[in-house]
Structure 1
Amino acid sequence: MMGNLIKAEMRKILTTKSWWALLIPAFAFAFLFSLGWGAITNDINDYLGSTDAQELASLVGIELGALPVGLLSLAHGINIGAFFPVIFGVFALAGEYTKKTITTTFLTAPTRGSALTAKMLTYIGWGALYGVVVVAAASLGTLLTVDDRGLPSAGQWFGVLGAGILATTLATLFGIGVGAVWNSVTGPTVTLAIWMLVVENVLVFVSFGWFGIRWLGGLLPNGTLNGIVGAIGAEAFGAAGLSVPDQIDKDFQWLMQYTAGAPGAFSWWLSALIFFAWTMVFFLAGWAANQRRDIT
């Protein structure tokens, strides 16, 4: 029965335009952002003759002029690309309410729980697909612009691939939860776009600049989603993780995290855990709401 429900979910997705209408800009934005950041990050290795850079390099045991600055390009490309599976997830359940197909979905499944489980499993697969596409786009942009000396190692690249797939998968589930709670497509799409792309970034920047709060981005939804990949670059620069040298100036550490696209991130895995908690809050709330919601 579950297999049939998953097949039905796949047909619903493939007969709509949303999957490719969001996948194309996800690829395009990831590619363009990594392309732009790749050109910028080359200047970072050129700058490494400064005293600050020498001090940072000696503290974290890295070679001057050979920092894996390509990780910054990858992170910024993947982070912007990860926004699109969030919106794709919103369509999963909220889109059915908008199109008035939710009644058929619930009435043809044994229980609402089984229908929602099939939807979750299907969209996990789609979230992983978004991750592969977004990482590929960011990798292409990075390879085209970052000098050989700044490219990540093979191990770092595979780590980014895994983190990127994890990020987009959780992003999709997060979107499903928000859409399920809201029971609308337009409302959560507009709100999430404003919050994730504008409001939260302003809050993080202002809280640091005016109040010296460095950890806010490591707790808010967009910051933790970005931190899953961005913290890998920050850790490579010695500015994140559990072994940050005490000698590094905390403001300089935050600036390096910000450059890596993960301001306030504690580590990549802790960012993943915190964003997973945000995802479960909305996903379980949406699950509970749809167990009781009237579909007539």
Structure 2
Amino acid sequence: MGPLVKAEFRKIFTTGVWWGMLIPVAILSFFASWAGTALGAVQEIQDSVGQPLPLGLLTVSMSTNFCTVFAVLFGALSYSSEHNNKNITTTYLTGNPRGAVMGAKLISYANLGLLYGLVNLVLASLGALLGAGLAGFGNPADWFAVGAAGLLSMMLWTLLGVGLGAIITNPPLVIVTVLVYKFFELVLAPFLATSEWSELAGYLPGAAASGIVGNIAVPVFIRAVAGDNEQNVPAEAFEFLHFTFGGTYGQPWWASVLTFAGYAAVAVVGGWLLSRRRDIT
């Protein structure tokens, strides 16, 4: 397995896909987090409370959820491009069985997903620091929790991309599929949230993924505002913050992790099963 993992890292770093997708992550993370600290409605809450609030945690959550699209595209394009360029033939012939190849890819791309998450966390935190100051991060333990959740989210999105790339081996098609679904969920989620099936909204792939970070950051912010009166905060306040910064009201972060990890696992297993049967000649 070790040589296969080394080969995967070599293939990753000899192409431009990994840094091509990482550049927009760095730029968007910083500017989205910086701009998020100036959001009018949240600033009004801070002014009314009369003390600094952990706004930076919210903007780190928002930046993470904006940037995950580049992680999933990176994973999907890297795998599907190997099929498109016929490089996968040599990989499968020298790395038999194919399950070992998939395992090596998951290990290597999980590490690159963590790199994406780390770049996002650092740049988003810098943007929040510029906009909200050091007081905007609250308790250091909360920042570490939000940061760790962001790393996990990026890694799972990257692995989901690997699975999609194994299923859809045409690079343009996998890009279109990811972007179309992202748009579809943006339309579907508000509809579900206001229907009799509102409980299902948090279990859509994108909503579950955003909850990995948002369902930690938003409750921390609410506790900072309400203190001991957290139970008296209306649901509308939670819903507004979740809509803006990610997550779903009433859903714990660990449920979001399990839900999205399930989607990623289904994609990976589906890609593995198809790759076992796919003709590479």
State the TM-score, normalizing by the size of structure 2: 0.90
Query: Which residue in 2 is equivalent to 1:47?
Result: 45
Q: Indicate if the aligned counterparts of 1:45 and 1:150 stay in contact, CA closer than 8 A.
A: no
Question: CA 1:237–1:216 in 2, change beyond 3 Å: closer, same or farther?
Answer: farther
- What is the aligned-residue RMSD (CA, Å)? 2.2
Question: CA 1:137–1:217 in 2, change beyond 3 Å: closer, same or farther?
Answer: farther
Q: Kindly, what percent of the aligned residue pairs are identical? A: 36
Q: Indicate if the aligned counterparts of 2:58 and 2:217 stay in contact, CA closer than 8 A.
A: yes
Query: Which residue in 1 is equivalent to 2:59?
Result: 73
AA of the residue aligned to 1:288: L
State the TM-score, normalizing by the size of structure 1: 0.86
Q: Distance in 1 between matches of 2:250 and 2:99?
A: 35
Query: Which residue in 1 is equivalent to 2:205?
Result: 221
Q: Distance in 2 between matches of 1:48 and 1:178?
A: 42
Query: Which residue in 2 is equivalent to 1:275?
Result: 260
Measured after TM superposition, the shift of residue 202 of structure 1 is: 2.1
Query: Which residue in 1 is equivalent to 2:272?
Result: 287
2:155 pairs with 1:155: no
Q: Distance in 1 between matches of 2:200 and 2:31?
A: 28
Q: Indicate if the aligned counterparts of 2:215 and 2:247 stay in contact, CA closer than 8 A.
A: yes
Q: Distance in 2 between matches of 1:233 and 1:212?
A: 27
AA of the residue aligned to 1:31: F
Q: Distance in 2 between matches of 1:128 and 1:275?
A: 16
AA of the residue aligned to 2:207: G
2:187 pairs with 1:202: yes
Q: Distance in 1 between matches of 2:250 and 2:180?
A: 21
Per-residue CA deviation, residues 77-110 of structure 1 (Å, 9 max, x unaligned), is 1111222110111023211101111110000013
Question: CA 1:128–1:49 in 2, change beyond 3 Å: closer, same or farther?
Answer: closer
2:115 pairs with 1:115: no
Q: Distance in 1 between matches of 2:67 and 2:252?
A: 20
Q: Indicate if the aligned counterparts of 2:32 and 2:62 stay in contact, CA closer than 8 A.
A: yes
Q: Indicate if the aligned counterparts of 2:30 and 2:127 stay in contact, CA closer than 8 A.
A: yes
Q: Indicate if the aligned counterparts of 1:82 and 1:168 stay in contact, CA closer than 8 A.
A: yes
Query: Which residue in 2 is equivalent to 1:102?
Result: 88
Which structure is higher in helix share?
A: 2
Q: Indicate if the aligned counterparts of 1:132 and 1:165 stay in contact, CA closer than 8 A.
A: yes
Aligned partner (choices 231, 234, 238) of residue 215 of structure 2: 231
Give the total of aligned pairs: 276
Query: Which residue in 1 is equivalent to 2:121?
Result: 135
Greater CA drift, 67-76 or 19-28: 67-76
Greater CA drift, 107-116 or 143-152: 143-152
Question: CA 1:65–1:195 in 2, change beyond 3 Å: closer, same or farther?
Answer: farther
Query: Which residue in 2 is equivalent to 1:168?
Result: 154
AA of the residue aligned to 1:110: N
Name stretches of at least 5 consecutive residues in structure 1 with no aligned partner: 51-62
AA of the residue aligned to 1:39: A
2:244 pairs with 1:259: yes
AA of the residue aligned to 1:227: G
Query: Which residue in 1 is equivalent to 2:76?
Result: 90
Per-residue CA deviation, residues 204-263 of structure 1 (Å, 9 max, x unaligned), is 22333x437543441011111111111111221449xxxx96644334432232133223
Query: Which residue in 2 is equivalent to 1:26?
Result: 25
Query: Which residue in 1 is equivalent to 2:167?
Result: 181
Q: Indicate if the aligned counterparts of 1:46 and 1:65 stay in contact, CA closer than 8 A.
A: no
AA of the residue aligned to 2:165: G
Structure 1 residue matching 2:251: 3-state secondary structure: coil
Name stretches of at least 5 consecutive residues in structure 2 with no aligned partner: 224-228
AA of the residue aligned to 2:265: M
